[in-house]
Amino acid sequence: MEGAVTRQGLEAHLQVVVTDAFRLEIQLSIPPGKTIALLGPNGAGKSTAVSALAGLRPIDGGRIELTGTVLDDPERAAFVPPEQRHIGVVFQDYLLFPNLSVLENVAFGLRSRGVARDEAVTRSETWIERLGLGGLGVRKPSQLSGGQAQRVALARALVTEPDLLLLDEPLAALDVTTRAELRRTLAEHLRTFPGPRLLITHDPTEAFLLADEIHVIEDGEITQSGTADEIRLRPRTAYVADLVGSNLFAGVADGGRVETAGHHLHVADTDAAGDVLITIRPTAVSVHLHEPDGSPRNTWPTTIELIEPLGERTRLRTGGPLPLVIEITTEATRSLDLAAGTDVWVAVKATEIGVETDRPVSQRSGSRPDAAGGRP
Amino acid sequence: MSISTPERRRVRSRPPVFLVILGILGLAIFVIPFVGLLARVPWSDLPELLTSDIVVDALRLSLLTSIAATALAAVLGVPLAWLMARVEFPGRAIVRGIVTLPLVLPPVVGGAALLFALGRRGLVGEPLYEATGLVLPFSTWGVVIASTFVAMPFLVITVEGALRNLDQRYEGAASTLGASKWTVLRRVTLPMIGPSLLAGLVLTWARAFGEFGATITFAGNLQGRTQTMPLAVFVALESDRDTAVAISLVMVVVSLVVLIALRERWWKAL
């Protein structure tokens, strides 16, 4: 889109009365080229936000403005219907039209907007190729695997070059192996999409890996906003703490050892190799005043940076080399006489470290998890 | 729980005897009349009987009016079904009742009601005649209207049910892709309810093809103009049994051919 407009990106203040007991009220500001994640549990109002932005549900108050155009403003009786909004949506469950082929699904948006058939087909085929779906154009959605259907949904949304990209739980319907692969595909296409992007998810890993900034949504309200690290290290509500309180690091695995940020950890999973994500639950870390001896194989000295009492539990944050969020009993905190600045040793058992493979499946020999499985 | 041996499984899979007997009797109710009809068919005279003016006229008229009634039901019934399924309006339950009424009403009563409303001195018929000179009763159009009145509920009910069961998020997805309401209807809604629409059309056509009571009451029994196959059978039974049997045979064959041809998609939708 050429021409500098007064305000770029998405500016939205959404007020939607869902039921008498539940209303959504959130503020979203997404500049072009940025990905914002709306992270929250089911029933928090995430899908309502998608419907409101896409124009499938008028807002009851507030205002939606995209690249300087007002799309919905009840006070000024302004409402642009969905077919005129030019917003690309990847829906939960994809919603591929079952009666149309993959090619027809992808070309649907272009054809609906009056693009000539030949051009629509050419442009759609380009996107089908780009998403690694070459040769699947004639298939019906029922003949695709979950991962393939997800790619078709992405191609269908991107081919029209929308002003805003909405992704509603794009990976939720996939199995674990396919999810890691598709997350990479998604990351790659999010990077190249020039407009603002909104990712709706209940999965913190997805939000951390794909978004520049995260809004946590609970009961129709945004309870915390910030980068992945800000949210992870300083959770502001109990829900956020439980949801994102886990320690999450990207690393490289090799025969039971994972290197992350220059630090080596022993893990129980000796099969994992290459890029991995490791998770350490805050309650799985023990804290000692002196170097512990015995079974834990991962120990290192560090300093306590922050102490946060949460009733019977206390949340600690340690400094380098591997900053951790730790949860121990308040009693233990007292008996160890811990305070900010105390030098301690931390220990994690190898079996307490979760390892999630996160690398393109294509590099793996022999296995084809993305092959046509024939979803009913 | 005992371990189920092959022997035990065989015992369990044998259906109860009384159900089998009653089931076979039920089937007999369908089969025996056709056997009786086939036994009475004058096979050697058949070509001559089937090419008689009465039969040819009746078959032509029946096909024409039943297809026209089905088309009229589609053009008017699909929008009605859509409104009933998608628009909240006061009295929707009453509308649904009115639409289903022709299913339970004796067709003769329907025909009489049509006559009072659309007859030359009827409530609507009189102004219509004065304005256009059009007389519906005892005309081929009268047959089409009587058949539509009796048969359209099948289409409306089937399509309305399908629209209710359709996941409306697909239509929303289409609109976010820039599709106008008309495009959504044409490329998403109608194709997605396609099997049900087809089933509704077949039921409507079959009902219109066999329509008798409302037609004879409203449109009369004029050969070549309003005398459809069922009317011709009725008349022939009084005078010429062989012709009646021949026409009946044609109707059975036509109905069977249509049902078999559409069987695949038919079963899927119902």
For domain A10-244, the CATH class is: alpha beta
* Whether domain A247-357 has CATH 3.40.50.300: no
Residues 91-130, chain A, touching B (beta carbon < 8 A) = 91, 95, 97-100, 108-109, 112-113
Domain ranges of chain B: 53-269
Q: How far is CA B235 from CA B104, B218, B221, B253, in A?
A: 25, 17, 9, 20
Reduce the DSSP state of residue A231 to 3 states and report it.
helix
CA distance A307 to chain B (A): 48
Whether residue B1 has pLDDT greater than 50: no
Question: CA-CA distance, B145 to A54, in Å (whole number)?
Answer: 44
> What is the residue whose two structure tokens read 């929707």?
B92
Domain ranges of chain A: 10-244, 247-357
Measure the CA dihedral B208/B211/B215/B217, to 10°.
-150
Question: CA-CA distance, A40 to A91, in Å (whole number)?
Answer: 17
CA distance A62 to chain B (A): 21
Q: Residue B231 burial by CB count (10 A; 0-12/13-18/19+): exposed, middle or buried?
A: buried
Spatial neighbors of B62 by CB under 8 A, at least 6 apart, are: B209, B228, B229, B230
Topology (CATH level 3) of domain B53-269? MetI-like fold (1.10.3720)
Reduce the DSSP state of residue A246 to 3 states and report it.
coil
Measured over the CA atoms of residue B215, residue B221, residue B225 and residue B231, the dihedral's sign is positive
What rounded mean pLDDT belongs to chain A? 83
Cβ-Cβ contacts under 8 Å, B269 against chain A: none
Whether residue B219 has pLDDT greater than 50: yes
- A33-51 in b/e burial notation, b at 16+ Cβ within 10 A? bbbbbbbbeeebbbbbbbb
DSSP one-letter code for B186: I
Q: Summarize pLDDT for A201-254 with one digit per residue, the tens.
A: 988 878 888 899 999 998 899 988 998 877 776 667 767 766 766 677 778 888
Reduce the DSSP state of residue B241 to 3 states and report it.
helix
Does ipTM come in above 0.90? no
Query: B191 vs A112: CB contact, 8 Å cut-off?
Result: no
Query: A83 vs B172: CB contact, 8 Å cut-off?
Result: no
* pLDDT at position A196: 94
Q: Which helix (H) or strand (E) holds B76?
A: helix B53-86
Phi, psi (rounded to 5 degrees) for A106: -65, -40
pTM of the model: 0.73
Say what angle helices A146-158 and A102-112 make with each other, to 10 degrees. Answer: 20
* pLDDT at position B8: 52
